[in-house]
Amino acid sequence: MSRFISFEGIDGAGKSTHIESLAERLRERGSEVVMTREPGGTPLAEKLREQVLHQPMDALTEALLVFAARRDHIQLVIAPALARGATVLCDRFTDATFAYQGAGRGFDTAVLATLETWVQQGLQPDLTFWFDLPAETAAERRAAARTPDRFEQLDAAFFNRVRSGYEARCRQSPQRFARIDAALPREQVWAQVEAQLEQRGW
């Protein structure tokens, strides 16, 4: 049975580590797993990702590029994988657009909702893991891990707004979201992920 699982959270929350762990767990149980990311996942979407992460632009341009990348990603990767019964694990999806461009940039979420409808045509993840972490803690982790991109250079106030955007999306779709306390040690974070899967019989 196909499943679409997205992983969300501000930069530095540690979600990427747990995508790998979940992929391994599912493959051991015989599932076909497709790991992908947004923006990205196709040659075109990866090119658009580079522009979004490194070129100056306003929030509307960001949103249009992200949704253009998402459309290509859905058509070429996500929809075909789900159609053949695979499990898709996606590092970010549309919740990130509402969090970053909507709450973070202050862009009109009604416009984002319209783009969401046009591009996704009802497609949503079956489950979204939200790795929730205070902005200050995430900043400390990012500083120790890598050179920051255009978003990661932004201040704590921006990431606090992004976090509030995720909170809003979680309230809107509580059945889809699983909030994970990402401030805990890695083993305890993974235990929360496993507990959510077991609750759903996965």
pLDDT for res 141? 61
Name which CATH class applies to 3-199: alpha beta
Q: Is the pLDDT of residue 177 over 70?
A: yes
What average pLDDT does this structure show over 21-30? 93
Non-local (6+) Cβ contacts of 134 within 8 A are: 163, 183
pLDDT for res 102? 96
Q: What would the two tokens of residue 159 be?
A: 């990431």
Query: Which residue in this structure is represented by tokens 């059945």?
Result: 175
70-93 pLDDT, tens digit per residue, is: 999 999 999 999 999 999 999 999
pTM: 0.92
Q: Is the pLDDT of residue 146 over 60?
A: no
pLDDT for res 14? 79
Q: What percent of the chain has pLDDT over 90?
A: 78
Q: CB of 90 within 8 A of CB of 139? A: no
- Mean of the per-residue pLDDT values for the chain? 91
Sign of the alpha-carbon dihedral angle for 58, 62, 68, 69: positive
Task: Show the beta-strand stretches assigned E in the chain.
Answer: 3-8, 33-37, 87-91, 127-132, 177-181
pLDDT for res 145? 55
